[in-house]
Structure 1
Amino acid sequence: MTAEGTTERVLRLLALLQRRPAWTGAELAAELRVTARSVRRDVERLRSLGYPVHATGGVGGGYQLGAGTRLPPLLLDDDEAIATAVSLRLASAGPIAGAGEAALRALAKLDQVMPPRLREEVRAVHGATETLAGPGAEIDAEVLVTLARACRDAVRVRFSYTGGPEQRTVEPVRLVTTGRRWYLMGWDPQRDDWRTFRLDRMRDVAATSWRFRPREHPDPAAFVQRAVAESPYRHRARIRLHADPAAVRDRIPPQVGRVEDDPGRAGWCILTAAADRLDTIAVHVARLGFPAEVLEPPELRTAAADLAARLRDLSG
């Protein structure tokens, strides 16, 4: 086989290893239509190029592409390349500090090696897309990585938190984003309870060497949603809506409110929302377009009536 043919086969081998977590030698040989000995030689070629290909022997053994100390080039098919380029474009306008510049550098590198036909498709998507910067707080990328590793390795983190004088030590479980903000859910040994923390309010974040045994925990997304909806705003309201809960959840961002089934009425649900102004809650409920009944507080009815009167004056 020519050197060009060998190179093409090695690239095909790399693409196969990237496609799924593990392959047996026999499976790779069948896919590449070569002998098991050729597969072993091609694996060695990949290792010499910096790809950490792990091999295990015995029954059920095989080859697996692992994480290495440096990032070698990736093989992307057409759909993956387009999706990556579009994602990088969105990341360039994201709320993570420093990520925008890094995303633009990566996008420039990807654009340089893309075939012309894919480059034109990506540029067409870019040309038809505008990114509206949201009001979310900017997050330090280093803080995000530190917390993610601590969640993975089950080690406690220590940080200062805006609004509290003391230093906090937490057993981190999961990072949750609402699109506008990032939150950490974790066990607070000092409070002996689960807590959520906004990443933009955390300072001097550091992972400790203190490992912990993960405990049973509530669903992180649901827990953060509940905490956000019940955060210490000036007003908190509960409204019964004549609508399917799934339909309401599609229209209510998690940072705005929590939607639950109404156990007393089929086809109804309960919306819990909080805000600094009652008329803000009234506007959100009115925009949903569903029949609604205020459960609490009664002052919300007054705020809604005042808002309706102002709207009538505006429309007149």
Structure 2
Amino acid sequence: MSEAGTTERVLRLLGLLQQRPVWTGPELATRLGVTTRSIRRDVDRLRALGYPVNATQGVGGGYQLGAGRALPPLLLDDEEAIATAVSLRLAAGGTVTGASEAAVRALTKLDQVLPRRLRAGVRALQGAIATLDGHRFEVDAEALLLLARACRDTVRIEFGYVDLAGAATRRRTEPYQLVATGSRWYLVAFDLDREDWRTFRLDRLRDPRITTLRFSPRAHPPAVELVQRAISVAAYPEPVRLLLHADAETVRRQVPATVAVIESRGPGRCLLEAGARDPAWVLLHAARLGHRFEVLGPAAVRELAAELGRRLAEAAGPSTSH
């Protein structure tokens, strides 16, 4: 076979190895129309280029593309290349410090090697995409990776933390999971000094340090639900509780998860809990959903609902019906 043919086959082999975790030699030979001996030679060629291809013997063995000390070139098909380019474009407006610049550099490199047929399509997509950044809360990329490793390795971490009131404390925690809400990152962890689960905003976290103390994972609440309740309900002194005459899934499609907690109360009924500095906003938004609802509490909010109802009735003027 010519050198060009061999190169094409090696690239096809690399593409197959990237598609699934393990391939046997006979499977690869059948897919590429060659002998298993040729597969062994092609694997050696990939290794020489820096691709860490692992080989295991026996039942369940085969060839596997592993992780190496350096990042070799990736082989992307058309759909993967377009998806990567668009994702990098969106990452350029992200919330991780340094990631925007890294995304721009990676996007530039990708653009240089894209085939002409794809480059025009990718640029058209990029030109059509705009992001409304608003107020972003950036977090340090190294700190994010450190916390992720601590969650993975189940080791305790210590860090300084500044709460909403500006008070600074030092925390000792068992980290569980990182949660991103779009504009902010949160760490869900068990606070050893307070003996309870806590959520920590990463932009308020200072000087995180991994200790050498491992821990056994505790029974834990779902991290996403814990963060949702922390930012939509627990952050306020007394949340508004409404009983809506609608299915929970219907209301969840209407109300962002960062705004309220929705719990089913049977067919056609659900509980909405939401905090707000001004409870009137919760009542007005609930009224706009288009469902009947009742105010369960607090008592002051029931009185407020009655007052708002009187004001709205007056604003509508006298009834014209006879």
Q: Which amino acid aligns with 1:262?
A: R
In structure 1, the partner of 2:320 is: none
Structure 1 residue 177: deviation in Å?
A: 1.2
Structure 1 residue 226: deviation in Å?
A: 2.1
Structure 1 residue 238: deviation in Å?
A: 0.7
Is 1:241 the equivalent of 2:272? no
2:231 to 212, 228, 233: 228
Q: Aligned with 1:157: secondary structure?
A: strand
Q: Aligned with 1:275: secondary structure?
A: coil
In structure 2, the partner of 1:29 is: 29
Structure 1 residue 311: deviation in Å?
A: 11
Is 1:261 the equivalent of 2:264? yes
Distance of aligned partners of 1:166 and 1:128 in 2 relative to their CA distance in 1, 3 Å threshold: closer
Q: Which amino acid aligns with 1:51?
A: Y
Give 1 or 2 for the bigger CA radius of gyration.
2
**Which deviates more from structure 2 when the two are superposed, residues 6-15 or residues 120-129?**
120-129
In structure 1, the partner of 2:220 is: 217
Distance of aligned partners of 1:312 and 1:161 in 2 relative to their CA distance in 1, 3 Å threshold: farther
Q: Aligned with 1:19: secondary structure?
A: coil
Cα RMSD over matched residues? 2.2
Structure 1 residue 168: deviation in Å?
A: 1.0
Structure 1 residue 229: deviation in Å?
A: 2.4
Distance of aligned partners of 1:193 and 1:129 in 2 relative to their CA distance in 1, 3 Å threshold: same
Q: How far, CA to CA, are the matches of 2:206 and 2:94 in structure 1?
A: 20
Distance of aligned partners of 1:203 and 1:194 in 2 relative to their CA distance in 1, 3 Å threshold: same
Q: How far, CA to CA, are the matches of 1:213 and 1:256 in structure 2?
A: 33
In structure 2, the partner of 1:190 is: 193
Q: How far, CA to CA, are the matches of 1:209 and 1:50 in structure 2?
A: 33
Residue by residue over 1:152-176, the C-alpha shift from the partner in whole angstroms, topping out at 9 and shown as x without a partner, is 1111111111035432121111111
Q: How far, CA to CA, are the matches of 2:149 and 2:227 in structure 1?
A: 20
Normalised by the size of structure 1, how large is the TM-score?
Answer: 0.92
In structure 2, the partner of 1:290 is: 291
Distance of aligned partners of 1:129 and 1:205 in 2 relative to their CA distance in 1, 3 Å threshold: same
Is 1:4 the equivalent of 2:7? no
Q: Which amino acid aligns with 1:154?
A: T
Structure 1 residue 300: deviation in Å?
A: 2.6
In structure 1, the partner of 2:103 is: 103
**Which deviates more from structure 2 when the two are superposed, residues 10-19 or residues 175-184?**
175-184
Q: How far, CA to CA, are the matches of 2:251 and 2:182 in structure 1?
A: 18
**Which deviates more from structure 2 when the two are superposed, residues 303-312 or residues 24-33?**
303-312
**Aligned residues of 2:177 and 2:188 also touching (Cα < 8 A):** yes
Q: Aligned with 1:13: secondary structure?
A: helix
Q: Aligned with 2:239: secondary structure?
A: strand
**Which deviates more from structure 2 when the two are superposed, residues 223-232 or residues 47-56?**
223-232
Q: How far, CA to CA, are the matches of 1:297 and 1:135 in structure 2?
A: 32
Is 1:76 the equivalent of 2:79? no
Q: How far, CA to CA, are the matches of 1:235 and 1:215 in structure 2?
A: 29
**Aligned residues of 2:155 and 2:214 also touching (Cα < 8 A):** yes
Distance of aligned partners of 1:97 and 1:47 in 2 relative to their CA distance in 1, 3 Å threshold: same
Structure 1 residue 306: deviation in Å?
A: 5.9
Q: How far, CA to CA, are the matches of 1:66 and 1:311 in structure 2?
A: 69
Structure 1 residue 301: deviation in Å?
A: 4.1
Q: How far, CA to CA, are the matches of 1:14 and 1:137 in structure 2?
A: 40
Between the aligned residues of both structures, percent identity stands at 57
Q: How far, CA to CA, are the matches of 2:151 and 2:46 in structure 1?
A: 32
Q: How does 1:1-316 map to 2 (within 5 A)?
A: 1-163=1-163, 164-263=167-266, 266-304=267-305, 309=311
Q: How far, CA to CA, are the matches of 1:210 and 1:287 in structure 2?
A: 51
Gap regions ≥5 residues in structure 1? none
**Aligned residues of 1:93 and 1:131 also touching (Cα < 8 A):** yes
Q: Aligned with 2:241: secondary structure?
A: strand
**Aligned residues of 2:172 and 2:192 also touching (Cα < 8 A):** yes
Distance of aligned partners of 1:311 and 1:138 in 2 relative to their CA distance in 1, 3 Å threshold: farther
**Aligned residues of 2:162 and 2:169 also touching (Cα < 8 A):** no
Q: Aligned with 1:166: secondary structure?
A: strand
Structure 1 residue 130: deviation in Å?
A: 1.4
Q: How far, CA to CA, are the matches of 1:311 and 1:195 in structure 2?
A: 44
**Aligned residues of 2:155 and 2:174 also touching (Cα < 8 A):** yes
Q: Which amino acid aligns with 1:204?
A: D
Structure 1 residue 307: deviation in Å?
A: 5.8
Distance of aligned partners of 1:158 and 1:234 in 2 relative to their CA distance in 1, 3 Å threshold: same
